[in-house]
Structure 1
Amino acid sequence: MESVESFERLGLALAIGAVVGVERHWREREESAGKRTAGIRTFMIAGMLGGLSGLLEQTLSVEPARYGLVVIAMFAIFSAIFGLYQFRELRAEGNYSVTTTVTAMATFALGSLAVLGNARLAAAGGVALVAILASREILHQFVRTLSWNELRSAIVFLAMAVIVLPILPTAPLGPFGGISPADTWQLVVLLAGISFLGYVAVKAFGQVRGEIVAGAVNGLVSSTAIAVTNARLSAAGHSAALLVAGATAANAVSYLKVLLYIAILAPPIAGRLSPALVAAALVMAGFSLIFARNDTARHTEHRARNPFELLSVLKTALLLVAVGFLARAAAAFFGQSGLLVVSTLSGLADIDAITVTIAGILDTIGAEFAATALGAAVIANTLAKASYALTLGSRDYGARFFLASATALMAGVGMFEATPMVERLLTEHLLK
Structure 2
Amino acid sequence: MLPTIIWPYGETLIRLSLSLILGLLIGLERERRDKEAGLRTFGFIGLLGGIGGAMGENFALLSLFLVGLLTYTLNIQLLHTKKTIELTTSAAMLITCFAGILCGQGHTISPAAVMVIVTALLALKEPLSGFSVGLTESELRSALLLAILAIVIYPALPSGSIGPWKLIDPRATWVTVILISGIGFANYVLLKIYGARGTEISGFLGGLVNSNFTVIELTRRLKDNDKLVDYAYRSILLATTAMLARNAMLLLILAPNVLLNNWLAFVLMFFTSAVLVLISQRSGRAIVENEPIQLKLGLPFSLWTALKYGFIFLVIHIFGTISQSIFGETGFYTVSIIGGLMSSASAVAASANLASHGSISAALASKASILASFASIAFSFSFVLQTRNGSLIRKLVTSLFFVAVAGLTGTIFSERFLPILIGLYESRMG
| TM-score normalised per structure 2 | 0.69
Task: Report deviation, 1:160.
Answer: 6.7
How far apart, CA to CA, are the structure 2 residues paired with 1:208 and 1:383? 25
Residue 100 of structure 2 aligns to a residue in which SS? helix
What corresponds to 2:53 in structure 1?
Answer: 54
Please state if 1:112 is matched with 2:101: yes
Distance 1:313 1:113, change over 3 A: farther
* 2:373 aligned residue (370, 375, 378): 378
Structure-to-structure mapping, 1:215-254, within 5 angstroms: 215-216=203-204, 222-225=213-216, 228=219, 232=223, 236=226, 238=227, 240-253=229-242
What corresponds to 1:268 in structure 2?
Answer: 254
- Output the amino acid matched with 2:100: G
* 1:330 aligned residue (323, 347, 354): 323
Please state if 1:98 is matched with 2:87: yes
Residue 167 of structure 2 aligns to a residue in which SS? coil
- Output the amino acid matched with 2:45: A
Distance 1:203 1:398, change over 3 A: closer
- Tell me the matched-pair count: 397
What corresponds to 2:395 in structure 1?
Answer: 399
Structure-to-structure mapping, 1:12-411, within 5 angstroms: 12-26=18-32, 28=33, 35-57=34-56, 68-85=57-74, 88-89=77-78, 98-149=87-138, 151-152=140-141, 155=144, 168-170=157-159, 172-174=161-163, 177-181=166-170, 183-184=171-172, 187-188=175-176, 191=179, 195=183, 198-199=186-187, 201-202=189-190, 205=193, 207=195, 211-213=199-201, 215-216=203-204, 222-225=213-216, 228=219, 232=223, 236=226, 238=227, 240-253=229-242, 268=254, 284=273, 287-288=276-277, 290-293=279-282, 294=285, 295-296=288-289, 297-301=291-295, 303=297, 306=300, 311-312=304-305, 314-348=307-341, 350-351=342-343, 354-355=346-347, 358=350, 368=362, 372-386=367-381, 392-395=388-391, 398-399=394-395, 402-403=398-399, 406-407=402-403, 410=406
How far apart, CA to CA, are the structure 1 residues paired with 2:268 and 2:10? 49
8 Å CA contact 1:249–1:284 kept in 2: the answer is yes
Task: Report deviation, 1:54.
Answer: 1.7
8 Å CA contact 1:54–1:115 kept in 2: the answer is yes
- Output the amino acid matched with 1:225: I
Task: Report deviation, 1:70.
Answer: 1.0
Q: Which runs of 5+ in 2 are unaligned?
A: 1-6
- Output the amino acid matched with 1:5: E
- Output the amino acid matched with 2:9: S
8 Å CA contact 2:183–2:217 kept in 1: the answer is no
How far apart, CA to CA, are the structure 2 residues paired with 1:253 and 1:93? 56
8 Å CA contact 1:351–1:378 kept in 2: the answer is no
How far apart, CA to CA, are the structure 2 residues paired with 1:321 and 1:397? 29
Task: Report deviation, 1:113.
Answer: 1.2
For each residue in 1:190-222, what CA deviation from the matched residue of structure 2 results, as whole angstroms up to 9, or x when unmatched? 636853772574387353655534645666684
- Output the amino acid matched with 1:324: H
Distance 1:253 1:282, change over 3 A: same
How far apart, CA to CA, are the structure 1 residues paired with 2:8 and 2:361? 50
Distance 1:147 1:71, change over 3 A: same
How far apart, CA to CA, are the structure 2 residues paired with 1:328 and 1:98? 58
For each residue in 1:152-208, what CA deviation from the matched residue of structure 2 results, as whole angstroms up to 9, or x when unmatched? 555566567666666654463346543343x43663576368537725743873536
Distance 1:51 1:356, change over 3 A: farther
- Output the amino acid matched with 1:72: L
8 Å CA contact 2:219–2:232 kept in 1: the answer is no
8 Å CA contact 2:138–2:299 kept in 1: the answer is no
What corresponds to 2:3 in structure 1?
Answer: none
Task: Report deviation, 1:325.
Answer: 0.9
How far apart, CA to CA, are the structure 2 residues paired with 1:343 and 1:301? 38
Q: Which runs of 5+ in 1 are unaligned?
A: 29-34, 58-67
Structure whose CA Rg is larger:
2
Task: Report deviation, 1:78.
Answer: 1.4
- Output the amino acid matched with 2:254: P
For each residue in 1:254-312, what CA deviation from the matched residue of structure 2 results, as whole angstroms up to 9, or x when unmatched? 5567789x69xx962599669887986676566545533523132342637645x6545
- Output the amino acid matched with 1:48: L
Residue 195 of structure 2 aligns to a residue in which SS? coil
How far apart, CA to CA, are the structure 2 residues paired with 1:43 and 1:206? 38
- Output the amino acid matched with 2:376: N
- Output the amino acid matched with 1:292: Q
Task: Report deviation, 1:119.
Answer: 1.7
